[in-house]
Amino acid sequence: MNINKCKGVIKKKKQKQTMAMVHTSSIFSTNLIHLQPSTNPNPITKFTSPHTRNNNFRPPRVASIPYPPINVDYLQTEFSGHGASFTRLGETCVVRMGLDNGSVATLMLPSGLITSYKAPMWHGGLLELLHTSVSEADDGSGAVVRGGVSLAFKCDGDGNGNGGVLWSPSVWNLRSVGGSPDESIQVELISSNSEDKIEFKHIVTLQQDAISSEVVITNSRSSSLKLMGSIIGHLAISTPEAAYAIGLESSNYFVKPPIFSNFSIVPPDFDKNESGWFKQLLSGWGLGSQQDSLSDNNRQEDEEIEGEEEDNYKHLTEKMSMIYTSAPRNFTIMDRGKRNSVGVGREGFNELYIFSPGSSHKPYGKYSYLCVGQAALLKPVTIGPGSEWRGAQHLHNPNL
C-alpha cells in the first residue's frame, strides 16, 4: 500500500514513525482509505460460479469494541503452518492466509473482521476485492477499522426480545487452522456464551478462486433460539456508477433502511436516526458507538416498499438499500471501472441484502463500495433445542 495514503490519520514527523505505519497498513486492503480526524474444521462446500516510535501513534483497532489482549506468540507456536501466519498489532493479532497462486486474505483477532482479500486477475496481477477504511475514533482514542467482511448477528432466546437470552458474538478465539497453501486454507474461529449455552463458529476458507465465510450456530439449550442478522461484506468498486448486479431479475424485494453495524462504513448523507425499523432490529445488540445515536425514543413507522426486480442487469448508481427474499443462490457484481467482477453465493440464508451509497461521492474514495450480505433480517432463523444451523457467504473470483 502507498504510505502516502496514511497521512490523514497519523501525520508523519519522523522516519521511524513512517516505518511503523508501513507495518500497520499491511493488514488492510489496498482500497483502505485514511481520513482526517472528524470534529473441525468441517470442509465448507466449495463454491462454483455459474457463469517508528511516536508517543502519539496508536495502532488501528477494529471499530470501537474493547477487546482483551491476545497471546500472539502462543498462536504462532500452536497454529503456524498450513499457509497461515500471525503478527502482533497493538493488542490485536493479524492472521494472514496465503496460497501459492497468489491469493491472500487477512483477518483480525479477536474481532474476526476480514480486512483484505487479494485475488489473482486475468492480467497477471492481484486485485483487492474488499474495501476497508481507517479513521479517527469518535472519542479520539485512536484509529479504528471498518469495512471488510464482518458478522452482525443477535440471538434471542424467546424470539421477541423480552426476557430470555439476548446475545451477540463479538469476541472471537482461534480454534484451528487447516489446509495447505497449494490448494486451500481454513481458519476456524469460535465465540460462545456458556451461560446461555450458545456457540458460534466462523469458518473462513481461502480457496484459489474464492473466499468463504461460514457460520455454524449450536443451540445447546432446552428451548428454541431465534437468530437475526447478516454476514456483511464491503466489496471494493471504482464507483457505484460503474457497478451492476447481474442475475436478480424477477427476485422479490423490500426497500428498507440500511443495516449499519459497528463495522459499517456509513456515508454522511445517511441518517441512522431516521429508521424505527432499524432501531427495533438492532436494539440490544451492543454493537458499539455507531449505534449510540439510536437510543432516542422518537421512533417512527417506516414506509415499506415491496416489489419485484425487473432488471437482470441492475445499475447500482443510485442510493439503495434492499432486502431480496427470493434471489438466486448465485449472482454477480460487475465493475466496469476496474474491469472485474465478483460472484456472490450463499448457503442456508434465505435473504440477500444489498446496499449502495450512491454515486455522489468521489470515485476510488472512502465510499467506493457496495455492501452485500447473506441475511436473516425480515424473518429470523429458528434453531431448535440441541440443534445446529449453518449459513455461508462465498465471494468468487471469476477473473483468472
CATH of residue 93: 2.70.98.10
Residue type, 222: S
Long-range CB pairs of 12-16 (<8 Å, 24+ gap) are 13/54, 14/52, 14/53, 14/54, 15/52, 16/52, 16/53, 16/54
* pTM of structure: 0.79
CA distance 266 to 370: 12
Q: Considering its fold, how many domains does the chain have in total? A: 1
CA distance 236 to 148: 9
Residue type, 142: G
- Cell numbers for 78, please give them: 500452536
CA distance 126 to 134: 22
Residue 229 has pLDDT above 80, yes or no: yes
| Mean pLDDT lowest among 39-48, 172-181, 371-380, 387-396 | 39-48
Average pLDDT score over residue span 304-328: 94
Secondary structure letter of residue 130 according to DSSP: B
**Listed residue (133, 135, 143, 137) closest to 58, CA to CA:** 143
Helix/strand/coil for 77: helix
DSSP β-bridge partners for residue 167: 155
CA distance 304 to 276: 12
Residue 141 has pLDDT above 50, yes or no: yes
Q: What is the pLDDT of residues 58-100, one digit of tens each?
A: 444 444 455 567 889 999 989 988 999 999 988 889 999 999 9
Instruction: Give the structural domain span for 111.
Output: 3-396
